[in-house]
Each structure stands twice: as C-alpha cells, then as structure tokens.
Amino acid sequence: MQKFIEAGYDVVNFEDKADIYVINTCTVTSIADKKSRQMIRRVKQQNKDAIVVAVGCYVQVAREKLEEIKDIDLILGTKEKKDIVKYAQEYLKEREKIVSVSDMTPKDNYEEYGLITHTERNRAVIKIEDGCNQFCTYCIIPYARGRVRSRLPEHIIKEIEKISENGIKEVVLTGINLTAYGTDFAYRDIEQIDCNKSEEENKEKLKDYRLIDLLEDINKIPKIKRIRLGSLEPTIITDDFVERLSKLEKVCDHFHLSLQSGCTETLKRMNRKYTAEEIEEAAARIRKYFPNAALTADIIVGFPGETDEEFNQTYELLKRIKLYKIHVFKYSIREGTKAAVMENQIDGNIKEERSNKLLELSNKYEEEFNNACVGKTLSVLFEEQDGEYLKGHTTNYRVVKVKAKESKLENEIANVKIARAEGLELVGELAKSETCQWGRRFLTTCQ
C-alpha cells in the first residue's frame, strides 16, 4: 500500500470501487488458499474493468493454478512484491497479463519496503524477519516465503525511533520465525550498515547478533514504553535469554509460544526441534523471572497418527503449565507437505472432540487468570474510548476498562485498581497514587 501512496495513488476501502485491487494471498492452510481464490473473483465483480494483482505466499507455491484464473492480470511472487507499482504501470501500457515469480534462495537478503509498519493509535507492529528453515512436516511456509532472512538492526531501530516521535508507545515485533532472528547474518551478504567500516567489519559485528541483542537496543529508545514479542519457539527460552530479557523493563510479560503439541512423539512426526519436557522447562523459566506472565500457545489437534494416549499427554502437559489461553487448530491436509501423505489420518469428529476439550481447558484458565487480577493495581496503556468506558491493555495483555468519558488518558499509561472480571475484560477505577502489584515486577511505579 505504501508503495502505491508514494507513487501518487489514492487508497480506498475494500468495499469501494477501485481501479487496482491487490490481493495479498495466504497459503498457511488449504482454507486460506480457497479464500484467496474467492477474494480474487469477488473484486472483479465490484469492477469488471479493474486491474487485479495477486501477490504473496499462495502465488509463490501455486503459480500454475493462478495462471488458469482469467480474472487475474498480474501474478507476482514474494521477491517481486517490492516492485508492484512498476509492474502495475507496465500492465497499464500493454494490457497483457504479467506473470513474474522468482525462486526463493538461501542467499536472499531481507527485502526492505520502507516504512510500511502497521500502526494503531498507540501500537506499531514491526516485522523484523521473514522466512523459515524449520521444514515442519505440516507446513509449506519455507517453500512460499523462503529461508530465514533477518532485517538489519539499524533499519529496525531507525524505524522505531521515527514512529516513536509520532506518539507510538508500544511496539510488537513479528516475523515468520522470530526465534531465528539474526541466525542468517553469518552467511549473508551484509550491505554496509556503517559507512566507516568495510562489509567484512560489518559482517563481523552482526555474526553473533540475535533477538535478545535487538531487544536490548530497542529498550534504549526513550519514547518507547512497551515492547511485545510475537510467537516464540521453546528453544529460545534458555536461562541466559530469559535472564537478560527480565532486565529490560519495557518488555511485556505476555509470551506466545509456538508449541503445536505437548507430546514428544507427535512433535517428532511434526519435525519440531524440542520435546514435551523442554516445553515444561521453558514455561518454568519464564515464570521464574516473570511471575505474573500470561503464557499463550498454538496447539494442533488431530495430527496424523495422534493416538488418544498422545493427545492425553498434550492435555496433561497443558494442565501442568496452565496456559492463560490456548489457540487450538484442527489439523488439515496441506498439499505438498510430508504430513499430507502420512498414514493414520485422524477422523474429523475426533479432531472436533479434542479441540473442544482443549478450548474448555483454555476457558477455565483464562477465567482463573482474570479472577486473580481482581483487587490488584495494574499498569494500563489506554487505547480507545468505547462508549462510557476507556479501554486499554495491561503488560500481560489483559483488556481493562474504566468509566471515563472524554478522558485525556487515551494513549497514556496509568494505574487501575481492578474491581471485577466481566467476561474477557477487567473493570476497575483509576488509582494513580498506587504502585503496580501485577505485571512487570520491575515497574515499581507506573507513569
């Protein structure tokens, strides 16, 4: 979108009639593939003369299928996305279908698109990494997005400094495999990041630079008050990582773990690189340094070969580590993956039963977590007015609301004494003079 704005185009709502429609396709699941195709057909109905551009992951892995859809005018792969305006202008001249999808190679660098960060009122989502080297047996992402490519820290810091000047107080770091950030610096062609140093000197500087180093640098940016992390692999939760993390007062105590299963045998078939025991150890480490942390996780049920015993092992592990929320996904066959041709595919009714069982467990622990907040004083970053209430989030990502019409606290951090839990939200009153009793233990007072 930013590329088109810079080229002088006006961006309109999707429901409005447009001259060019860009469909950023997804291919995480077969359902995502289907939705991408439906969206492409839908926009042509809105304006039969419009130019339809298909870009993204589904394009990268299913180019031939998309070429068969006559409504698509431009088919662009992951690497071509940065030149989308150039391709659109080329099409306007010739009016002939353009297909350009390059292979993703291990030597590719992170593609910089400029300042395209998604920002809300006081939160910005910063993508710092792309691609994945894991090759999990159920996932097609490495083929669609290529290998791990980390964004240079100088570019990330510069962007965060810029958006902080515009009032953004919280940043969320995301990536396809956030845990792998920096692991590619040792073998990539590193562009010059310091004009006074050679490329080899810059490469030496970055070879051991990892996610924790980046977090320590972001923590130094004065106007940023909170740092959130996207999904993490349990393998990164070492004693050294969590201890260093706990010393950064701006890092929020909400951690989303990409688990997928709590059974070691299932994890092996998934080609995940850790065991159930290591998951439990990772959760314990986090709670050692972040006592009030909210832990959430992704779990896949009904993976090929998952027996009742294997599912029960996952269920019992989740009971022990008491995740505050479980995001449950029923396994679906993804064409082109190893899991798609595995034996012992699980019946849909069994998947549904297992999914419901985990969701019940998730609801139970979420309710317990909320009730434990009652009577506590929490630090809240207020984000929006919703009727007579002002709403915001705690450091551990609980939604809090207070009655405050026309309050000047929007986009500010303040203390709230929690009176009660109301569904998925907490209700309280402003308590500016009190210290925080919940959330980051290093915040003895709240701004």
CATH of residue 244: 3.80.30.20
Q: Of 293, 306, 369, 302, give the one whose Cα is nearest residue 330.
A: 302
Residues 136 and 21 reside in one and the same domain: no
Residues 75 and 183 reside in one and the same domain: no
For the stretch 165-214, pLDDT in tens is: 988 999 999 999 999 999 999 887 776 566 677 777 777 778 899 999 99
Phi first, then psi, for residue 4 (nearest 5°) are -70, -40
pLDDT averaged over every residue in the chain: 87
Residues 47 and 127 reside in one and the same domain: no
Residue matched to tokens 């240079």: 152
Q: What integer pLDDT is reported at residue 447 of this predicted model?
A: 31
Q: Please name the residues in contact with 407: beta carbons below 8 A apart, sequence gap of 6 or more.
A: 382, 385, 390
Residues 266 and 132 reside in one and the same domain: yes
Could you say which of 344, 368, 392 is where a domain stops?
Answer: 368
Residues 182 and 232 reside in one and the same domain: yes
What total number of domains does the chain contain?
3
Residues 239 and 146 reside in one and the same domain: yes
- Cα separation, 215 vs 231, in Å, equals 15
Residues 8 and 144 reside in one and the same domain: no
Rounded alpha-carbon distances, angstroms, from residue 260 to 24, 60, 179, 354:
26, 25, 15, 14
Q: Report yes or no: 140 and 27 within 8 Å, Cβ to Cβ.
A: yes
Return the half-sphere exposure (C-beta side, CA atoms, 13 A cut-off) of residue 428: 28
Burial letters 22-53, b for 16+ CB under 10 A, else e: bbebebbbeeebeebbebbeebbeeeeebbbb
Residue matched to tokens 């012992």: 344
Could you say which of 100, 129, 157 is where a domain stops?
Answer: 100
For the stretch 346-390, pLDDT in tens is: 999 999 999 999 999 999 999 999 999 999 999 999 998 888 999
In a domain, 230, yes or no: yes
Q: Which amino acid is present at 93?
A: K
Q: What integer pLDDT is reported at residue 121 of this predicted model?
A: 64
* Helix, strand, coil content of the chain in percent (nearest 5): 35, 20, 40
Could you say which of 333, 349, 368 is where a domain stops?
Answer: 368
Could you tell me the residue range of the domain that residue 6 belongs to?
2-100
For the stretch 69-82, pLDDT in tens is: 888 999 998 778 88
Residues 198 and 282 reside in one and the same domain: yes
CATH code (residue 38): 3.40.50
Residues 270 and 396 reside in one and the same domain: no
